Structure 1
């Protein structure tokens, strides 16, 4: 006969703590601009036989050491790997327009750049949320800003992006009435945080933003389908 099994004490798993640790591992700790024209490739449910390309704004280093591509998408600067729904866009990979190569892992040189910068600029954690880094917007991104469901919307150019110590990222917009110099650059007093002033913000690529400003009927119809249900 086998030996009797010794009783094992039950272990209580705190699911909330597990979720918090998982979120912490995904927290962005450093950004690096994409300056070589690499793109995100994605598909849409409305056109499953086609592939679309969108320029990457930056690469981000997570707390767990993973590197991800970042694009202005809908309401935030988004990790490409989080786009997994055909309706809104499904991430396929990254693309080098010069070679037309499609790959799924970030380039080694960007991973090395981020790791080195994170080590060099390592900050001391504190109880307060602090500014870690600022990047200029190099894509001509625009933000559609709304403060109330029935109030007029405003299309404003995005001048930059801020990374905070809690991993959050916010866009920088300009109060043109306070601008004293042109062009507007990071550090100018006229810049403000988008989330601090607007109830809802949606980000668009430059060519789509121009169609909205020109009140292109097809673009406005598509905009209503994207924005109105989320009010």
Structure 2
């Protein structure tokens, strides 16, 4: 409940500012990698009798104290609990593969880890957007990159993820021509934020990315159905 305004003091409420503050409360302020194999469980409307599992990349602590599981999904690193698409998937819960247990809230140990880390580092607020944290990608995620509907697409491995002070999370791709050492690691100068160079980016699991690279007909057909509507929307805009 909000604090009631005093009848003795008139106040002008800027609705845009209120919306910005509400959105800011959902910003991710700290990440913790998922290293125990926990999964997101989701369901497709086309096959409601089947549940699907997707490995969780990381857990995120939001400014309002909530903790959410995060997975590379469509065009970004998405909160599992907010995936609710008729076509692409509806969140059911989290799953521990070792016990087969399905639960609907993040594990307590991840909450404790994130809160402790956020309190320890306690970054100061700044008007400038600054780098807060970097995580390696442990899932073999790939990014399909396009700069124009008519230009060729390219599939690139994701090497990591950067969390910025404004709550944005960007995928890290490599400029192979600038790579000086292998393997490529976080901090290497050849890495760049995906959307700093590519107009459109979609993220895929490793096995799906390999099917695309192998030009599997069924996978390419599904990809065309997913990408073409977005191109049409951009043209209409």
**What TM-score, normalized by structure 2, do the two folds share?**
0.92
What are the Cα deviations for residues 99-138 of structure 1, in whole angstroms up to 9, with x where unaligned? Answer: 0000011011000000000001111111100000000000
Q: Secondary structure at the match of 2:25?
A: helix
Could you tell me which runs of 5 or more consecutive residues in structure 2 were left unpaired when the two chains were aligned. Answer: 1-6, 232-237
Give the conservation status (yes or no) of the 8 Å contact 1:175–1:191. Answer: yes
In structure 2, the partner of 1:135 is 135
Deviation at 1:12, TM superposition (A): 5.8
Could you tell me which runs of 5 or more consecutive residues in structure 1 were left unpaired when the two chains were aligned. Answer: 1-6
In structure 2, the partner of 1:15 is 15
How many angstroms apart in 2 are the aligned matches of 1:180 and 1:85? 42
In structure 1, the partner of 2:4 is none
In structure 2, the partner of 1:104 is 104
Q: Does 1:39 align with 2:39?
A: yes
Deviates more, 1:139-148 or 1:80-89: 80-89
- The CA RMSD measured in Å over matched residues stands at 1.5
In structure 2, the partner of 1:173 is 173
How many angstroms apart in 1 are the aligned matches of 2:8 and 2:84? 41
Q: Which runs of 4+ in 1 moved over 3 A?
A: 7-14
Q: Aligned residue pairs: how many? A: 225
How many angstroms apart in 2 are the aligned matches of 1:10 and 1:142? 54
In structure 2, the partner of 1:52 is 52
In structure 2, the partner of 1:188 is 188
Deviation at 1:227, TM superposition (A): 1.1
Which structure 2 residues correspond to residues 45-124 of structure 1 after superposition, within 5 A? 45-124=45-124
**What TM-score, normalized by structure 1, do the two folds share?**
0.94
Q: Which has the larger radius of gyration?
A: 1
Question: CA 1:11 to 1:187, structure 2 compared with 1: closer, same or farther past 3 Å?
Answer: closer
Deviation at 1:69, TM superposition (A): 0.2
